[in-house]
Amino acid sequence: MLVQQQKIQFSLYSSLYDLIVPKDNMLRKINELIGFSFIYDELLNKYCTNNGRTAESPVRMFKYLLLKTIYTVSDIDVVERSRFDMSFKYFLEMAPEEDVINSSTLTKYRKLRLKDTDLLNLLISKTVTIALEKGIIRPKSIIVDATHTLSRSNPFSAIAVLHERSKLLRKTVYLFDDQWKERMSEKNNTNELEKELAYCKELERRLEKEQSLSSILAVKEKLNLLKETIEDTQENFTLSKDPDAKMGHKSADSSFFGYKTHLAMTEERIITAAVVTSGEKGDGPELPKLLEISQENGIDVDIIIGDGAYTGKKNLKLTSGQNIKVVARLNVTIAQGARKDEDKFDYNKDADRFVCPAGHMAIRKACQGKKNVGTNQIQTYYFDVEKCKTCSLKEGCYKEGTKTKTYSVSIKSDLHQEQISFQETDYYKEKAKRRYKIEAKNSELKNVHGYDRAISYGITNMQMQGAIAIFAVNLKRILKLM
């Protein structure tokens, strides 16, 4: 049962807060800056209002999570610290002698109460509204970029997972019929993925023919697990406990396994929009969402500052229609207009490579034709055909027996002359110098608030982590600018 959030209960010791928690304490300032009743309103439908024992206040529980993010501590430590840290108790609106919650309650709160809530946009919108009301945000420009977060789970190679799952299935079969040791096909002892897939498929086929064996529950469960792994392997070559995380690339030689958070931020360093995606997604396609969310949050955008990833044809067309200038150096590879399957292959500006729909990045590129000779140059990207052979999306993309898989784009020398001319102006050069601000914000999120690694599995939990981290940095920034 849920009751309305109460203020600090009357206590003989409440005056201690005035003595111990100074006026310039950050947590005191946050309590004075923002009312957290919107959290109660947002989560009201997640509680029963007239039955059961009294639940912990949703506002206080949210404040626990905010403290956890601000100070980068564990559930256990944030609860333990709130037992003796008076600034924590003041922020949580507790009486000085009041006891704390059990730390396991925070886990239940995240899983049961915050599930299916658009916490990311809610918290960003709230802080942007405060910044606008305080007159903090003035220039009509946003800076856009993406930052990566490593998955909590380390990726395993596909062949290692197949080895383990097939081994588990064999051991289960032998428990019920050890004579199958003589009937099993020869195991794959190489590190070739195709041979391991062929072995696993043959094992699956043989066991499914033996209904008396495959119908046993223990065997059936292990068989289904192997079948699922085969399907996952054909679709993506990286498997882990985190089903939503994917392999992304920071450069042609550097990769990461996890997520990307695409950010829009004002020049005052207030984050106005965020979109969380898996790691393999490109930066450019997320610009329309970032722009739309920023505008919905009350930002009147005249200028977008970013890097070459945001100069795709669709983005330039969108911004031109709204009279928005894009301060980003034109990248001829992604700005060209005659590219095939533009909606399918994403350009990774960090690696300067295209990424196919299955998430595999081109291994090299080559340029054909000469510059400024009248004919268009062709940029050709080459993909690893060994991955193409076992890809679940190869139909219509890869032809069996082909020795190479390429993807070509035209580089038109006369395209986007207006943007090229804009790049040469003093105004463009002055605005471009301000892009560093978002790099500093990315660093703050990662190094101060633990956003360099996910604390839980799945993109929903990543969005929740991002929501509270961004809420924290926005509040801190507002306090600093006031």
Over residues 331-346, the pLDDT tens digits come to 655 544 445 544 468 8
Residue 392, pLDDT above cutoff 70: yes
Residue 26 or residue 249, greater confidence: 26
pLDDT given for residue 374 in this prediction: 44
The continuous run of DSSP H or E covering 209 comes out as helix 193-209
Q: Does the pLDDT of residue 78 top 70, yes or no?
A: yes
Share of the chain above pLDDT 70, in %: 88
> Does residue 184 carry a pLDDT above 50?
yes
Q: What would the 3-class secondary structure string for 33-72 be? A: HCCCHHHHHHHHHHCCCCCCCCCCCHHHHHHHHHHHHHHC
The DSSP symbol for 155 reads P
Three-state DSSP at 253 gives: coil
Q: Which 8-state DSSP code applies to residue 168?
A: H
Q: Which helix (H) or strand (E) holds 408?
A: strand 405-411
pLDDT (tens digit, 9 = 90+) per residue, 247-266?
Answer: 888 777 778 889 999 999 99
**Predicted local confidence at residue 1, as pLDDT:** 56
What pLDDT was estimated at residue 415?
44
How does residue 232 score in pLDDT terms, banded at 50, 70 and 90? low
Q: Please name the residue that has the structure tokens 């957290």.
A: 36
Q: How far apart are CA 408 and CA 429, in angstroms?
A: 32
| CA pair distance 260, 150, nearest whole angstrom | 9
Instruction: Please give the share of the chain, as a percent, with pLDDT higher than 90.
Output: 40
The answer on pLDDT for 464 being more than 90 is yes
Collapsing DSSP to helix, strand or coil, 24 comes out as: coil
Top pLDDT among 11 and 120 is at 120
- Segment 279-290 mean pLDDT: 93
Residue-level pLDDT at 24: 94
- Above 90 in pLDDT, residue 435? yes
Tell me which of 65-79, 118-132, 326-340 is least confident: 326-340
CA–CA gap between residue 183 and residue 203 (Å, rounded):
10
